[in-house]
Structure 1
């Protein structure tokens, strides 16, 4: 009886392949999966931005957002991948400032007026600086008492005329930002 059990056991091992060494199967690693993440998922002032809305207005596709909060100030910076420019920064700060103070202390002398945005708003283009091109800026005093700025930093070599055009596009984008949602 023992002999039969032993022969049966050896037969099972031989048939199942356990008696012979097999080479390991190499499985390639899975391909990386690209996941679209909303700017709002970064928190802070990024909750007020949407990558598609930005692209509709300024014709640039962003996919990276970072937020910061310090006291009553909420900030969001968006970029495209690893590129440092162009860069769009949104800053929202609680304030008790009135229109007269905003006009006297915040609005730059070279700024143009933007109508239909908050209590009062401006737009301007600043010249190029070390490492980047001109900067387009839109600032406004929101109806709920927040000081808000959208700043677009262009890549080196961008013309001032192109930055002026972006400033106009930023003004249109600013009108879509609901600062009450913060």
Structure 2
């Protein structure tokens, strides 16, 4: 009987260690929420290297968090927007150029644009009326001493009045003074 008792005891031990009861299902692990990581505008390359979301917000009062760059020949462009809205958007364009101040004034500066002092070699600001697809536009353009032409354009949402764009031109001038297109 001793042998049978040992075999029985060994069998019970094996059953207990192998868990012959009901098979346990997978353990439910709660999902990990995604981590939001703020990416700098400069990480998009191109003209975005000259922009900073915090500086834009400081001068305009609007927080942008998405940037996209494009380079085509001697022209470098950056468009910044808020992730959840297509407008407003801010576009910076920097183009290598060989033009001088008289050529800029005659050929680049739009008719009716106001001259801006203490920005590059020569600069202007203007507003453009809204169209069927977009709201009014505020624009600042300037000739940089490093032989570059720079333009900042703010496109407002369609419902915004032209007065909003006119107010923004002053803010864009202040922002433009923080941008160094010669650093590209």
Deviation at 1:181, TM superposition (A): 1.8
Conservation of the 8 A alpha-carbon contact between 2:78 and 2:92 = yes
Pick closer, same or farther for the CA change 1:41–1:160 going to 2, 3 Å: same
Displacement of 1:106: 0.4
1:16-53, CA deviations, whole angstroms, 9 ceiling, x for partnerless residues? 63653112212222101110100000000000000000
Structure-2 residue corresponding to 1:73 = 75
2:95 to 80, 93, 96: 93
Q: What RMSD in Å do the two structures reach over aligned CA positions?
A: 2.0
Alignment of 1:36-75 (within 5 A): 36-75=38-77
State the distance in 1 between where 2:158 and 2:107 align.
Answer: 30
SS at match of 2:85: coil
Change (3 A) 1:100 1:17: same
2:159 is aligned, of 154, 157, 169, to: 157
What is the aligned residue count?
182
1:35 correspondence with 2:53? no
Deviations 1:129-170 (A, max 9, x none): 112211000000001010100000000111111111101100
The alignment's TM-score, normalised by the length of structure 2, stands at 0.92
Aligned partner of 1:21 in structure 2 is 23
**CA distance in 2: counterparts of 1:84 and 1:93, whole angstroms:** 25
Gapped regions of structure 2 (runs ≥ 5): none
CA offsets, 1:112-141, max 9 Å, x none? 011100000000000001122110000000
Name the TM-score, length of structure 1 as normaliser: 0.93
Counterpart in the other structure of 2:183: 181
Q: Name the counterpart of 1:11.
A: 13
